[in-house]
Each structure stands twice: as C-alpha cells, then as structure tokens.
Amino acid sequence: MSIRRLPEHLVNRIAAGEVVERPASALKELVENAVDADSTRIEVRLASGGIDLIEVVDDGCGMTAADMALALERHATSKLPDDAIDQVSTMGFRGEALPSIGSVARLSLESRVRGSDGWRRVVDNGQVVEEGPAALPPGTRVRVEALFAKVPARRKFLRSARAEYAAALDVVKRLAMARPDIGFSLEHDGRRSLSVPPGQSRPERVAALTDRELAENSVTVDLAREGYVLGGVAGIPTFNRGVADHQYLFVNGRPVKDRLLIGAVRGAYADFLARDRHPVVALFLDLPPAEVDVNVHPAKTEVRFRDPALVRGMIVSGLRRALEEAGHRSAQPVATDAMGLWQREVPADQSVQPLSSVELPPHHLNLWAHSGVADGRAGFSVPPMARAEPAFASLPENSSFPMGVARGQVAKTYIVAEAEDGLVIVDQHAAHERLVLERMRRALDSGRVAAQALLLPEVVELDEPGCDRLEARAEELAELGLDLERFGPNAVLVRATPALLGGGDVKGLVADLADELAAFDQALSLKEKLDAVAGTMACHGSVRAGRVLSVAEMNALLREMEVTPHSGQCNHGRPTWIKLAHGDIEKLFGRK
C-alpha cells in the first residue's frame, strides 16, 4: 500500500468530523467569527434547530472578495498576525472552521467592508458553486443550509430539531454571556427567543440570560491573585438545581466546559449540597494568555492550565469566601461527621469504643460512611430546634412500634423518636422521598396516580427547551398525576399535582423535571425512570427538610415507614434512619 497525500476536500471533511459535530457546533464557529470581527450586533436565525438553516449576520469588519476566497481555505486565518499562538486573544485561530463547515453543507458567505461593495461566495459540500457581487450593509452574513445532507453517517446522529435547538440556544447564551458589550438575538423557526442589547454590564447580561431569580439568590465572586482574576456570581446553596447545566464557566472570555473547573466548583460546594444537587454559577476567570493553552481541543471547549492547582485553589476559595459572607442567607457548612462530634465530648482519658450495635437499615453496615447530614439545607451548626410538643397526648406511652414514638424534631430536618430498645433518628426528607416512590409504584400498578387539582392553576416560567421537553412528555406526566400544558413560548400552566405529594413547591418541581427530562433517553418511558421522577417529585413535596412537622405528622411518617418496603434507604441509597441502641447510649456516656 502506498502512502498518498489526501486531497483538500477530504482533509476538510475529516476536520469537519471534529469541528462540526452538530448544528450547534457550526453555529458556535460562526458566532465566534462574528465576535472576532468586532461586531456590535450579532443576529442568529435557525430553522429546524439549525438542521435546515443556520444564519449569522454581523455588523463587523467584513471581508474583501480576496479574503473571502482565502477564508474558505484550510489554515487560512487573519488572527495570528505574528504567529504567537501562545498569546491568542481571539475566539478563533485555527483557520479551519469555514472550510470544514463548507465541506459538509451548503455555505454561502456574503460580506462587505465599509466603504466598498459587497461580494458573495457559495460553497456546496466542498465545491465553489457561485460567486459574484452582493448587496448588503457593511458586515458579514453567513448561511449554512442542509447540514450533513450529503453525509448520511453524520445526519443519522442528529437528534430531533427540538434537541438541536436546545443545544444551539445554549451556545448562543454562553457566547452572549461572555461578551456583554455585544448585542445578540436568536430567532428559531421565525420566533425570537433571545435578545440582549449591546453595552450591558456583566451582571446585567448574566441576569438577562439566567434564571430571573438568580439575582436575589446569589453572591458576587471577586478574587485576584498572582495576575489571575476571578469574577462572577454564584448561586447560594439553597438555590440549587438537579443538573449541572446551569453552570457557565469562562476562561479569558471563552466559554469552556472544562473538567478541572467543573470539579473545582463541585469541590467548593461539596459541604453545602447533596451529591445529586448542583449549584448555579457564572464564573469568569481571566489570566495571562501564556498561562493557559486553548489549543487542546478542536472545538476549543477545553483548555489546559499551566498551574492547575492555582486555578483550582482560586475557584474553591473564591466561591467559599463569597458563600461564607452570605452565610446568613444560606445553608451553613455541614458537620462532616455528626457522630464524630458526639464522640469528641468523651473525656480524653477514656478510650472510645466503636458503636458496635448501631442499627442501620439493611445495606448500611458502616455508620461512619453515611452519617453526613443530608441535603445541606440545615446543619448541626444551627442552633438546635428540638421541640417538646406533648408527644404523649395522643399516643400510648408504652409503644412497641419498631420505629418508635416521635419525641421531637431537630433542625427542622430530623425526627427523633423513642423506641423500646433505643433512640431512632429519621431524616424526614429522605424518608418521605422513599415513601413517595413506593406509593407511586403501588398507584401505578393499580392504574393511574391520583392528581389533585390546584385551586388556581399555576403559571411556571421556564426556558423554551424546558417547556418543549415537558410538553412532549405531558401525557406521561399526567399518568403520574402532574397535569400541565404549554402556556406560550416560555411557560407551562400547571393544573394539578400528584395528590400523594400533598402540595408543595410547584415551580421548583416543574423546573427540576424539565432539567431532568433533558438527561433522559427519549426512548425510555418515564415509568422506566420512575425512581428519578418520583425522587424529583418527592423533593418538592410537602415533607422536605426544613419544614416543621407536628407530632401527628411525625408519627404518621414513622408508621408508614414501618409498613413500606425499602423504606430504609432513600432513592439515592442513603439511609433514611439510624437507631442508637440503649447500650450504645450508655457507652457514649461511659456507663458501660
């Protein structure tokens, strides 16, 4: 076999494999080019999620006819004037986006430099098919049509127009957040879904593009160290979400999805949030260009730092510091090992025996590994809020219930109960979540889950892809007791919620479900994902952490746990209750 150089059109198509994965990635390249052209306004139009058409119009510097010919050639770029690839300050620098897109679609490029005439050049799957004068205002208009129409292997992997649109919207949002000085608009199938004016401040832009409630539920991050600057906003821990999609991270003005940064954010919040909850953040890290290599990923979404430890440290301490200052507004750090604290109270000269007989629900043999406080919504550093309601009023004092009789509630999160053989502590939220799942399973087995109509239907505002996903699953959600319908482009109208939730936070529930549906495989029915759906629902039901329960409510929960299968673990596998036997209590006090 002899070695040969591949022809240009094939090289471009191979490059396209990396750069142009889906419509959103082609769109990203075009918007980045418009940003690099010093535009003040960038307009994006899409048809069918970008599969049929992507159009990007800018009012930037434009290109001459000669430059347009070059721009469609591989490795032709205006962005590395002195070959300094370690000093890149533009979004692009590889000189391969346009030729790559042109090799897998019909690409028409129209451009006009201020003071001269416009020109058009059209490339269809690698071949120049049209060229000539064009009439347009100064700037550039790029149209990409029939993406992958002639690349069946790629076309097959495209998801629905709806899913592609969601990805495209995310791309525009992130780039718009990176550049508040530029105005952006996005139109999909003739409807405008995003519009931000030029000349906004960074906080204004972040507020315009994220959850409207983030502004009141976030703190400002601001930290400078050794020429690195970290700024932005961080949602307080209680303002959390079910997926990590609401994290916007930027390095030197470039939106990135970098593992180091994501890990650092997770680490900063680790003590405040349950493992399955995610914070909302928009963080901007600026550092000298030589400190970061942006040329490690064809789509430039990952970067490599010269000093990863410094970057991680900045993010963790920047976030922690900001969150600490907001401590009064949010959950306090959680004691890492509640049981360990108990032990430390034992005088030093007395050696501590491990609590051998602490009783745990099945599968939880190691108390120490599971004794962290769930949810982070309340911790042991808040003053204890045990209440001594007359628990004996309605219950036989001498009870033989395995889960015991409720004696009080601690930190509005834990039920303390007295059983015949010891002290039972129940995580009310985790337990309720499990009970809801089991109830829902039973209800589904016997038909439909009962829905409870809301007195007034509630309008919940969400982003458009979120509404699309809920609308697409509306029938299945109705079977689970959640009745909702589309209400304009950016809202749904909720008419009823599952009766077994007993009311609760409708907006939070619907927003979380919309997020979660994005992560579900479309081929799977919601029933197959019941654990996740029920868990999300239960999370927003009436018995969440932080809610004061009456003694009757506490006892009702205990009784239901006794008769419900699997009630010993919550849907995430954590224990829902622990029991300290009398012998263990005696050991703690050195009586044994």
Ligand X SMILES: Nc1ncnc2c1ncn2[C@@H]1O[C@H](COP(=O)(O)OP(=O)(O)OP(=O)(O)O)[C@@H](O)[C@H]1O
Q: Residues interacting with Mg ion, by CB under 5 A?
A: 33, 92, 97
Residue 37 site contact among ligand X, Mg ion, none (CB < 5 to 8 Å, cut-off depends on kind): ligand X
Which residues neighbour 51 within 8 Å (Cβ) at sequence distance 6 or greater? Answer: 23, 147, 158, 161, 164
Residue 77 makes contact with ligand X by CB under 6 A: yes
Q: At what angle do helices 428-445 and 530-539 cross, to 10 degrees?
A: 130
Collapsing DSSP to helix, strand or coil, 350 comes out as coil
Identify the burial level of 83 via C-beta atoms within 10 angstroms of its C-beta, where 0-12 means exposed, 13-18 middle and 19 or more buried.
exposed
Q: Distance between CA atoms of 377 and 374, rounded to whole angstroms?
A: 8
> Residue 60: which of Mg ion, ligand X, none does it interact with, CB under 5 to 8 A by kind?
ligand X
Q: Is the Cβ of residue 71 or residue 467 nearer to ligand X in the bound state?
A: 71
* Segment 111 to 140, residues that bind ligand X, using CB under 6 A: 140
Residue 91 CB, nearest approach to ligand X (Å): 7
Say which entry of ligand X, Mg ion, none residue 63 contacts (CB below 5 to 8 A, set by partner kind).
ligand X
Q: Is 582 in the site for ligand X (CB under 6 A)?
A: no
Q: Which does 537 bind (CB under 5 to 8 A by kind): ligand X, Mg ion, none?
A: none
Closest residue to ligand X, based on beta-carbon distance: 92
What number of residues does the chain have? 592
Of 20 and 500, CB closest to Mg ion: 20
What backbone phi and psi angles, to 5 degrees, belong to 15?
A: -60, -35
The least distance separating Mg ion from the CB of residue 25, rounded to whole angstroms, comes to 12
Q: Do the beta carbons of residue 506 and residue 494 sit within 8 Å?
A: yes
Looking at residue 399, its amino acid is S
Stretches 87-95, 385-393, 504-512, 520-528: which one binds ligand X (CB under 6 A)?
Answer: 87-95
Residue 473 interacting with ligand X (CB under 6 A): no
Q: How many residues bind ligand X (CB under 6 A)?
A: 21
Nearest-approach distance from CB 385 to Mg ion, in angstroms:
57
**In the complex, what is the shortest distance from the CB of residue 78 to ligand X, in angstroms, rounded to a whole number?**
3
Pick between residue 23 and residue 541 the one whose CB is nearest to ligand X.
23
Within 13 Å of residue 592, how many CA atoms lie on the same side as its CB? Answer: 13
Calculated CA dihedral for residues 318, 322, 323, 324, nearest 10 degrees: 100
Least distance in angstroms from the C-beta of 98 to ligand X: 3
Stretch that binds ligand X, among 94-102, 372-380, 393-401, 543-551 (CB under 6 A): 94-102
Residue 20 sits in the site that holds ligand X (CB under 6 A): no
Alpha-carbon span 164 to 117, nearest angstrom:
35
Shortest Cβ distance from residue 276 to ligand X (Å)?
37
- The answer to whether 105 and 25 have CB atoms below 8 angstroms apart is no
d(CA 164, CA 408): 51
Tokens linked to 575:
């224990």
The DSSP annotation for 162-185 comes to HHHHHHHHHHHHHHHHH-TTSEEE
Tell the smallest beta-carbon distance from residue 253 to ligand X (Å). Answer: 15
Q: Tell me which of 22, 44, 51, 58 binds ligand X, using CB under 6 A.
A: 58
Helix (H) or strand (E) holding 490: none
Whole-angstrom CA distances from 291 to 79, 271, 314, 316, 345 are: 19, 30, 14, 19, 48
Closest separation in Å from C-beta 409 to ligand X: 58
Among 22, 28, 45, 94, binds ligand X (CB under 6 A): 94
Q: Using the rule CB under 6 A, is 33 a contact of ligand X?
A: yes
CB-wise, 142 or 426, nearer to ligand X? 142
Single out the segment in contact with ligand X by CB under 6 A; choices: 93-101, 358-366, 396-404, 561-569. Answer: 93-101
CA count, 13 A, side-chain hemisphere, 583: 7
Among 24, 46, 65, 71, binds ligand X (CB under 6 A): 71
Among residues 9, 21, 47, 61, the one that binds ligand X under rule CB under 6 A: 61
Q: 3-class SS at 541?
A: coil
Q: Are 193 and 168 in contact (CB under 8 A)?
A: no
29 in contact with ligand X (CB under 6 A): yes
The closest alpha carbon to 548, from 375, 376, 412, 434, belongs to 412
Smallest gap from residue 6 Cβ to Mg ion (A): 22
Please answer whether residues 248 and 174 qualify as being in contact, where contact means their C-beta atoms are separated by less than 8 angstroms: yes
In the complex, minimum distance from the CB of residue 70 to ligand X, in angstroms, rounded to a whole number = 7
Candidate residues 59, 96, 463, 516; the one interacting with ligand X per rule CB under 6 A: 96
**33 vs 413, which CB is nearer to Mg ion?**
33
Residues that bind ligand X (CB under 6 A): 29, 33-34, 37, 58, 60-63, 71, 77-79, 92-98, 140
